[in-house]
Amino acid sequence: MRNLIDIKDLSVTEIEELIKVAEDIMQNPDKYSEKCKHKKLATLFFEPSTRTRLSFEAAMMELGGNVIGFSSADSSSTSKGESVSDTIRTVGCYSDIIAMRHPKEGAPLVASTKTTVPIINAGDGGHNHPTQTLTDLLTIYCEKKRLNNLTIGLCGDLKFGRTVHSLITAMSRYENIKFVFISPEELKIPTYVKVNSNIDYIETKDIEEYIDKLDILYMTRVQKERFFNEEDYLRLKDYYILDKEKLEKAKKDLCIMHPLPRVNEISTEVDDDPRACYFKQVAYGKYIRMALLLKLLDIK
């Protein structure tokens, strides 16, 4: 494999290998500090996403490599009307690997056909964001020591949330996974996601109904840009606010996740709870990206 465009590009075995390498990096960071010496990562962000870009850049730097790139379309030649294909052909001459984010769906797939340099999809519109899914998988693995036999609650915007859809796809490949979909009527999970993944699930509007059964609680943000009218957004954005009280009946070893940034779907009073894993999740994101860079650059 030379590119990562869609999480489905990775087999279960390949994901396992990435997780092993990420764990080894966490335990022996010095061993990896010069692995990517003299290698260049280009971060091409045709749409800004500081969080994801910094994670990639930090990952490359901790491997001893260098970073070039741009952080928005205004500062790139796109603003002069250059096509994605031409930008990639050019940048492919300067870099060893490319992480790219683009507002148009399928742009990274196009890029991968225009250069021999490996392409990582760092998010293409509302379509795919495979390194977020890898981050989620590493978090679950490190916190629960397994990827099977889990009951996973997904809460919030399950209709538009792409991170949720690809996490379901990824987790549906493991044994004995049960999902609890928690959302208001308007933001229910689309039927095709449930049908395609052939999964075991229950649906509810009430966050507390099954909270005592959950091993993982994955909270998501209701995104303003998905709504046509302000009224619906305001009504739905605070539909769920996770606080100490709601967590009373939850398991002692529950793992609370969130792809971040959060707005107010998790009350800050939860941050100090040992079950809150969403900031650890950020750190895991860097380690899995380090493992991915090594894999795609074919560095052992």
Cis peptide before 108 (omega within 30 of 0): no
- Choice among 35, 101, 127, 289 that is catalytic: 101
Q: Which of 39, 53, 101, 102 binds other proteins (CB under 8 A)?
A: 102
Site for other proteins in 176-235 (CB under 8 A): none
Q: With respect to other proteins, which residue has the nearer C-beta, 194 or 213?
A: 194
Measured distance CA(126)–CA(176) in Å, rounded: 29
Q: Which amino acid is at 100?
A: M
Catalytic residue (choose from 39, 40, 102, 129): 129
Q: Check if the beta carbon of residue 128 is closer than 8 Å to that of residue 162.
A: yes
Smallest gap from Cβ 125 to other proteins, in A, equals 5
Residue 200 Cβ, how far from other proteins at the closest point, in Å?
A: 22
Q: Residues 6 or more apart from 133 whose CB is under 8 A from it?
A: 7, 163, 166, 167, 170
The DSSP bridge partners found for residue 4 are 120
Instruction: Tell me how far, at minimum, the Cβ of 236 lies from other proteins, in Å.
Output: 22
Q: What's at 2, amino acid-wise?
A: R
Q: Which of 33, 72, 77, 85 binds other proteins (CB under 8 A)?
A: 85
73 binds other proteins (CB under 8 A): no
Residue length of the chain:
300
Our answer to whether residue 51 is catalytic in this structure is yes
Cβ-based nearer residue to other proteins, 48 or 126: 126
CB 74 within 8 A of CB 87: no
User: Is residue 104 close enough to count as binding other proteins by CB under 8 A?
Assistant: yes
Question: What does the radius of gyration of the chain's CA atoms come to, in whole angstroms?
Answer: 19
Q: Among residues 139 and 166, whose Cβ is nearest to other proteins?
A: 166
Task: Name which of 127, 187, 193 is nearest 157 in CA terms.
Answer: 187
Q: CA 99, CA 132: separation in Å to the nearest integer?
A: 13
CA-based nearest residue to 123, from 7, 39, 288, 226:
7
Binding residues among 125-154 for other proteins as defined by CB under 8 A: 125-127
- Closest CB to other proteins among 165 and 286? 165
84 is a site residue for other proteins (CB under 8 A): yes
* Cβ burial, residue 223 (10 Å; 0-12/13-18/19+): middle
Identified catalytic residue from 43, 52, 133, 139:
52
Active-site pick, 31, 37, 51, 89: 51
Q: Is 129 among the residues known to form the active site?
A: yes
Is 80 a known active-site residue? yes
Q: Does residue 101 carry a catalytic annotation?
A: yes
Is the peptide bond between 261 and the residue preceding it cis, with omega within 30 degrees of 0?
yes
Question: From the list 54, 110, 282, 299, which residue makes contact with other proteins (rule: CB under 8 A)?
Answer: 110
The residues in 11-40 that bind other proteins, with binding defined as CB under 8 A, are none
Pick from 14, 34, 74, 105: which binds other proteins (CB under 8 A)?
105
Residues labelled as active-site residues: 51-52, 80, 101, 129
The residues of the shown chain that bind other proteins, judged by CB under 8 A, are 83-85, 102-107, 109-110, 124-127
